[in-house]
């Protein structure tokens, strides 16, 4: 089920913002948010809800991080570093289908020669993930969007194999100077695409002749078919 039980009286300690002591506590606290609206959660910690998310696309994730006591911030490590767990909010519709791809991390465009999946930043980010679905139909006001049932996931052997294959394909294209030729069709479960708040933000990459040039930063994203499979598996959504 997307939402297990509507919670009308959530214990204050569950939304205290204190860092959880262990994985079980984190999951319990996250699951106790199921059925609450973002407005209700925000009110508990005196956070103002934006009218829309056009300029604050990461607001939902930041709210959930604050409520659950994430401490990594913008550092290149999982949101709960002492537990090795990353938090990912997942916008879904009423039928439990993901509404968009899921950002994982910024993709490096230089210094990739000899890079390996086993020691990559993206693998570290996806090693253990707390997924929190949020019913986020565009017709629903931000404050009225409802949190679903959270679950913790680690890649199965097959899932990691698919992720590693895509990462290797995309990384090879970057190393060979083909970053500008990477499109959404590349990758079975993983996608590389521009990530920038505005088109003026640029970062260095190299072309096929080994010459440096400036381009938009890129990010790794999980495709919706991949996250849909996770929802089907963990929440029995068909």
CA distance 228 to 212: 38
Burial pattern 190-228, b for ≥16 Cβ within 10 A else e, equals bbbbebeeeeeeeeebbeeeeeeeebbbbbbbbbbebbb
86: Cβ–Cβ under 8 A, 6 or more apart, which residues?
A: 78, 79, 80, 125, 126, 127, 128, 129, 130
Q: Residue 37: what pLDDT?
A: 97
**At which residue do the structure tokens 């890649």 appear?**
155
Neighbouring C-alpha atoms within 13 Å toward the C-beta of 39 = 10
Of 102-106, 182-186, 205-209, 221-225, the least confident:
182-186
Q: Which CATH class is domain 12-235?
A: alpha beta
Average pLDDT, rounded, for the chain: 89
Share of the chain above pLDDT 90, in %: 77
Q: Residue 55: what pLDDT?
A: 81
Question: Hey, how many other C-beta atoms are within 10 angstroms of the C-beta on 138?
Answer: 9
Q: In this predicted model, which residue has the larger pLDDT, 224 or 5?
A: 224
pLDDT digits (tens, 9 = 90+) for 3-36: 553 344 444 445 556 889 999 999 999 999 999 9
pLDDT digits (tens, 9 = 90+) for 165-206: 999 999 999 999 999 999 888 999 999 999 866 677 899 999
Q: Where are the domains of the chain?
A: 12-235
pLDDT digits (tens, 9 = 90+) for 128-168: 999 999 999 999 999 999 999 999 999 999 999 999 999 99
Give one DSSP letter per residue of 104-116, joined into a string: EEEEP-SS-TT--
């Amino acid at each position: 089920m997307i939402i297990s039980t509507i919670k009308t009286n959530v214990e204050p300690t569950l939304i205290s913002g204190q860092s959880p002591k262990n994985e079980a506590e984190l999951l319990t606290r996250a699951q106790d948010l199921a059925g609450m609206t973002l407005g209700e959660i925000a009110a508990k910690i005196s956070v103002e809800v934006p009218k829309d998310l056009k300029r604050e696309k990461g607001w939902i994730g930041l709210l959930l991080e604050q409520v659950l006591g994430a401490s990594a911030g913008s550092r290149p490590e999982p949101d709960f570093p002492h537990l090795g767990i990353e938090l990912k909010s997942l916008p879904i519709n009423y039928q439990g289908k993901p509404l968009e791809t899921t950002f994982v991390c910024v993709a490096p465009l230089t210094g990739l020669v000899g890079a390996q999946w086993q020691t990559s930043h993206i693998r570290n980010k996806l090693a253990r993930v707390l997924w929190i679905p949020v019913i986020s139909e565009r017709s629903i006001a931000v404050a009225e969007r409802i949190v679903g049932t959270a679950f913790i996931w680690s890649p199965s052997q097959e899932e990691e194999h698919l992720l590693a294959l895509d990462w290797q394909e995309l990384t090879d294209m970057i190393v060979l100077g083909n970053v500008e030729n990477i499109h959404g069709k590349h990758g079975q479960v993983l996608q590389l695409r521009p990530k920038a708040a505005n088109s003026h933000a640029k970062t260095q990459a190299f072309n096929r002749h080994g010459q440096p040039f400036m381009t938009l930063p890129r990010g790794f994203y999980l495709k919706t078919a991949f996250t849909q499979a996770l929802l089907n598996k963990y929440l029995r959504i068909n």
